[in-house]
Structures are given as C-alpha cells and as structure tokens.
Amino acid sequence: MANEPWERKEIKITNAQAEAFDARLDLPDLILNGPCPRCKDGFNFRYQIIGLQGVKPIDNAAEERAALKTLVDDLQVDPQGTEADFTMFCRCGGDHDKRPADKEGCGAYWQFHAEWG
C-alpha cells in the first residue's frame, strides 16, 4: 500500500493490530509476519530469543544467525522464557517517499508483547 511517506515515528498499536501478526519459532528467533500498523504493507520481523555467551561475534548478520542456529540445533537448546517485550520496526519493502537510502520500511516503530511456547 506504501502511501505513507517515510517518517521515523513511534506509534501505538491496538490489540487487533498486534493479533494480526503470525508468530512462529525458528530458533534462535521468533519470527513475526504481518502488516505494518501504519502503512499496512506486509513484512517479516525477527526477534532473537536465545543468545549464547562466550561465542565470538561474526560481522555478517546472516552468517551469525546461521552459526547460532546450528549451535542451538546441535545443543538442543530451548528458550528460557515464553514471552518478551520489545520494539518492532516496519521492515516492509514498500515504496515510501522521503525514505533514506540506508533505511527500510515506512519508519514506524512500536512496542510489542509476544508469547510463545
């Protein structure tokens, strides 16, 4: 729908908007799929729910995710919790006027509560 110009702005979301997101575990991440409450474009959001201490960081985010996933699978790690509060950002691929070249989405962000398990 991409009719909103890009603007970094915190928004409040309703329960119905929060419930529009589908959530699935893909350890070490919780993946949320749904429409941005502001621009209505669909997107995926990854929230890492498992971290490991003592593992050397990897500069490439995709390689780091793959390495962490392999470790989690090999160690058969389970998430320690079943809920989290975090900030979500619109990461849609829509065309938003005034969006800086190094940004994605419409600029909206909001507080989100997720439960899994």
pLDDT recorded at residue 51? 65
Predicted model pTM: 0.77
Lowest-confidence segment of 32-41, 42-51, 84-93, 98-107 by average pLDDT: 42-51
With bands split at pLDDT 50, 70 and 90, how would you rate the model's confidence at 105?
Answer: very high
In this model, does residue 57 exceed pLDDT 70?
A: no
pLDDT recorded at residue 75? 62
In this model, does residue 1 exceed pLDDT 60?
A: no
Q: How far is the CA of 10 from the CAs of 19, 36, 53, 60, 66, in angstroms? A: 19, 12, 32, 28, 31
Residue from 74, 83, 41 nearest 55 by CA: 74
Average of per-residue pLDDT across 29-55: 86
